[in-house]
Structure formats: structure tokens, C-alpha cells
Structure 1
């Protein structure tokens, strides 16, 4: 048993952790794709989403940030501390979010990933397929149905 848990993030208390983790994980992609990172944009997005910390006991391993529309549950951010990457926490978190989509009767789980982000392989292993792309991003989704 891995002992992973999700717990709601405190809007203000956990914001700095999440912003710093996202910036450190994503800044190289922003630079490579000539995009501008703005702390303020992250903060505004954080305030409008459901944010959950991925924990093991009292240790925070990372976080996932979610939004919804009538058809889909969207993973907007999913980041683990470097020491926890490749340890199963990301796959476990995606499984939990997929179960959440099922419970909420949302037919799809969706996310967007930089084309050159190796996390894409994890998403594919978790059953997400590329359904669209633009200059630097892939749009991925999967059905939330049990047999998908």
C-alpha cells in the first residue's frame, strides 16, 4: 500500500508551494516555447480551481488542480516534487481524478501537456489519447467509463 492521500489545499496557505513547484517544473518549457510565466496568472487560476495536495502521511508530495465543464473533468496542473517523480504518486493521482470524474458523471478526463514533456508517457499509460494539438501543446483525453 502506497499510503497516498488527497487533501484539499488551503487557498492562501498552499498557494506559494504550488506556484513555486509549478514554476520550477515548467519554467524550462515556457522558455523553450517562448512563453511568459506570470506568477499573477497562476494565482488567479489557483483561486478559481479545486486544488488538492497529494500527500503521504503528513508529507506533501505535490498537487493537482482541477476544473470542470458539463462534459469533462480537467487536470489543469499536476506536479510532484522531484524526489517523488517516478514513484507512482502521479499515476495514483490520475486514477483518483478519473474515479472523481466517474462519481460526478462527467464522461471525459482531459488535460493539456507540452509536446516535449515526458509526463506525456504517463498520461498515455493511464489511457489518455492525443485528440488535438497546437504549436507547443497536446490536448489529451480519455473516457471516464470503467471499461475505457
Structure 2
């Protein structure tokens, strides 16, 4: 990310898994349960492990503030997770992280729980709802060159 930003992305390491588990519990349980999804700790840990090689810690002023996990190919980038610790939310961190992804000039797809207010951020940043299932909206942002 740009040097003028207080935000940095660094590759997550195995020793970061406990932080990522705690982050997930702090940021997702409320939204999951509002959606009627009650996950065990084991299920949360499996979600942390899924595509772990594509996990990046979000540092804000050198402090671990969140997670960005994504997969990409030639034309498409799929955001698997963006999670920001509650004490760092509403500081523009999520917006900056997504704007970093926009620089890759690819179609970006993501899913967001229907009860998660992050949907509003995604809509403000140009994502449109292209589908949905029982629990999530499927959103996409066109490539803008």
C-alpha cells in the first residue's frame, strides 16, 4: 500500500492464527448469529485455515487491526474476508484496503451477510448486488481502468 497511508498489508504467518481466530469471533459472531448461523470454535478455526495462504494482516499505525483474504486469477479477484477489529472500525481502514484492491484493475467479487452493515460500504465503493442466497448478498464491482 502507499507509503503515505497508515495502513500496511503483510502476509499472515502460522503464529498469527490465534489473532485471526479472535478477530473472527469479535467481528463475525454477531452478524452470523443474526443470520441464524451458530458456529462452533472448530468451525471458526476451519474458516481461518481456509485459503490461509491468501491471508494478509492489516496493520494500522503498526498495530494488527484486521485481515484481508482474497484469491485472484487473470480477470477476477474474489474477496474472501475483510475483518477489522472493532476498536479500529470507522477509521476508513476497510475503504483503504478495498481501494488497494481496485488498483489491480480486475472485476472484484465478494459475499456479505445480509445483516452486516459492511454492505453499505461496499455499495458506496461501487459494488452492486448481483445475486443472493439465504444468508448473503453476492456483490461485484466492475473493473475500472
Instruction: Find runs of 4+ consecutive structure 1 residues off by over 6 angstroms.
Output: none
**Alpha-carbon distance in structure 2 between the residues aligned to 1:41 and 1:55:** 26
**Partner of residue 89 from structure 1, selected from 90, 93, 99:** 93
**Alpha-carbon distance in structure 1 between the residues aligned to 2:73 and 2:85:** 29
Gapped regions of structure 2 (runs ≥ 5)? none
Q: Which residue of 1 is the match for residue 78 of structure 2? A: 74
How many equivalent pairs are there?
Answer: 140
Deviation at 1:39, TM superposition (A): 3.4
**Alpha-carbon distance in structure 2 between the residues aligned to 1:116 and 1:30:** 8
Structure 2 matches for 1:92-107, cutoff 5 A?
Answer: 92-99=96-103, 101-102=104-105, 107=106
Deviation at 1:66, TM superposition (A): 1.1
**TM-score, scaled to structure 2:** 0.85
Q: Which residue of 1 is the match for residue 11 of structure 2? A: 8
**TM-score, scaled to structure 1:** 0.83
Q: Which residue of 2 is the match for residue 131 of structure 1? A: 130
**Alpha-carbon distance in structure 2 between the residues aligned to 1:95 and 1:2:** 12
Q: Which residue of 1 is the match for residue 28 of structure 2? A: 26
SS at match of 2:15: coil
Gapped regions of structure 1 (runs ≥ 5)? none
**Cα RMSD between the aligned structures?**
1.9
Note closer, same or farther for the CA distance 1:46–1:56 as it changes in structure 2 (3 Å cut). same
**Alpha-carbon distance in structure 2 between the residues aligned to 1:41 and 1:74:** 21
**Alpha-carbon distance in structure 2 between the residues aligned to 1:113 and 1:18:** 18
